[in-house]
Amino acid sequence: MSTKHVFSRREVLRGSLYGGLGLAAGSFLGAACTPSATATPAPATQAATQAATEAVVATEAPTQAPTQAPVVQAAALEFAVVGGVWNIGWWIDPRLGWTAAAKELNINITEVGPVDFNGADQATMLEQTIGSKPDAIIMTPLDPDQLIDPCRKATEAGIPVMIFNSDIRDTRWRLGLIGMQNFNGGYLQGKYVTDTLLKGEKAKALIMTIPGVENHESRKAGVMKAFEEAGTVEVVEVVNDQADYTVGPQVATAALQANPDINLIVATDATGGESASRAVTEMGRAGEILIMGMDRDDSMLKFIKDGTMAATAVQRNALELYLATVFMFNHIKGTWVKNAFPSAPDSALLSLPPQVPPLTDTGVMFCTLENVDLFFHEKPA
């Protein structure tokens, strides 16, 4: 009587990681299929034996070709993407990136996170996600301090963590950071304003941002550094637009009414450029105030197309989430470690340095009237 072994999901993944499953199965089948020793017929009887064999073959009905054993599909990996404020258009590009990678690599993606910029709520949701034991976590922390402990717990539970867009302060508890480096991105945004848009002319600026959120604080600091170096831009006011399309126009309008000499608005978040454009349009000042946005929501790009906005700094969000997903897949499978250390025994792979880049800066692109049609997700009517 034969016994059938059903491989568990852990065994399948381990086989994929080390190649041991395939090697073991190959050795087993090779041994099982080795023919046993048989006696060689005497020369005098070979002719008779051949004739008898031919007679049997001639009278037997044709046999059906043997069927090939079905290919066992490896179980899909389970990844959790932890974010927040899912209702804004900024998520279009990241979702394009991880969806493409997940389709290619057989990964299921679960989206987790609060509806607002609440780091405490995100930390709670991340801890709940750890309990579901995903194969990997890819996240953008809403607070650099409150998310440290949940990332530690995930790492200690054997769940690798990849960070995108905004980091945690204690980097021991994540494998890598990918995305636009926020200070650098803000600095390049500010340099583009002073050198390309203003061309050395003086301006008084309003900055629209989200105070207390690390990535926006870093971008604002980068913008301010570029303005300081240029010596041509005075920041008159900084307002909190809350990444909200209702709040944004209101705070922009109030700032412009209180400071009528403002002639430049710079936004560090995806909603600020559109909010500023709505405000100046409603005030009848479209075209008078230079507006620099961030990211590429289609509803905002329309204001570049009609001339209300001058430009926007665009992150490569689709690329960063595609790469983040690929990085985690290869980390779990052990592919890159094995390639990097070909002489290392399989038993040592988990103790070798992970082959996930600790920092991947995807930079920014600039969208203006000249190229705006290329940045729409859906072609405008």
Contact 142, 118 (CB under 8 A): yes
**Sheet-wide strand order for 107-112:** 107-112, 77-82, 136-139, 161-164, 176-179, 359-361
Distance CA 207, CA 210 (A): 10
Instruction: Provide the pLDDT confidence category of residue 30 given band limits of 50, 70 and 90.
Output: very low
Q: Is residue 326 part of a domain?
A: yes
Number of domains in the chain: 2
**Distances in whole angstroms, Cα of residue 158 to Cα of each of 148, 155, 161, 316:** 16, 5, 9, 29
Q: Indicate the angle between helix axes 272-282 and 247-258, nearest 10 degrees.
A: 60
Q: Is residue 347 part of a domain?
A: no
Return the residue matching tokens 């025994």: 345
Contact 143, 214 (CB under 8 A): yes
Q: Kindly state whether residues 162 and 82 are assigned to the same domain.
A: yes
Q: Kindly state whether residues 288 and 170 are assigned to the same domain.
A: no
Question: What does the pLDDT read at residue 346?
Answer: 86
Tens of pLDDT along 218-260?
Answer: 999 999 999 999 999 999 999 999 999 999 999 999 999 999 9
Q: Kindly state whether residues 201 and 298 are assigned to the same domain.
A: yes
Burial of 63 (0-12, 13-18, 19+ CB in 10 A): exposed
Q: Kindly state whether residues 286 and 147 are assigned to the same domain.
A: no
Q: Kindly state whether residues 204 and 322 are assigned to the same domain.
A: no
Q: Is residue 289 part of a domain?
A: yes
Q: Is residue 95 part of a domain?
A: yes
Q: Is residue 135 part of a domain?
A: yes
Question: What does the pLDDT read at residue 70?
Answer: 54
Q: Residue 314's Cα: distance from chain center in Å?
A: 16
Strands (E), 1-100: 77-82
In 10 A of CB 305, how many CB atoms? 14
Question: What does the pLDDT read at residue 69?
Answer: 55
Tens of pLDDT along 11-24?
Answer: 333 344 333 333 33
Question: What does the pLDDT read at residue 238?
Answer: 98
Residue type, 118: N
Q: Kindly state whether residues 137 and 274 are assigned to the same domain.
A: no
Q: Is residue 248 part of a domain?
A: yes
Rounded to two decimals, the pTM is 0.77
What is the four-CA torsion angle of 278, 280, 286, 289, rounded to 10 degrees?
A: -120
Q: Kindly state whether residues 239 and 200 are assigned to the same domain.
A: yes
Q: Kindly state whether residues 227 and 370 are assigned to the same domain.
A: yes
Range of the domain at 228: 182-314+366-374
Q: Kindly state whether residues 106 and 239 are assigned to the same domain.
A: no
Q: Which residue has the higher pLDDT, 32 or 296?
A: 296
372, two tokens: 């705006």
Instruction: Provide the pLDDT confidence category of residue 380 given band limits of 50, 70 and 90.
Output: confident
Of 266, 246, 275, give the one whose Cα is nearest residue 312.
266
Tens of pLDDT along 153-165?
Answer: 999 999 999 999 9
SS3 state at 214? helix
What values do phi and psi take at 315, rounded to 5?
-75, 155
Instruction: Provide the pLDDT confidence category of residue 348 given band limits of 50, 70 and 90.
Output: confident
Q: Is residue 29 part of a domain?
A: no
Q: In angstroms, how far is the first alpha carbon of the chain from the final one?
A: 70
Q: The domain spanning residue 125 has which CATH number?
A: 3.40.50.2300
Q: Kindly state whether residues 188 and 271 are assigned to the same domain.
A: yes
Q: Kindly state whether residues 251 and 310 are assigned to the same domain.
A: yes
Q: Kindly state whether residues 105 and 234 are assigned to the same domain.
A: no
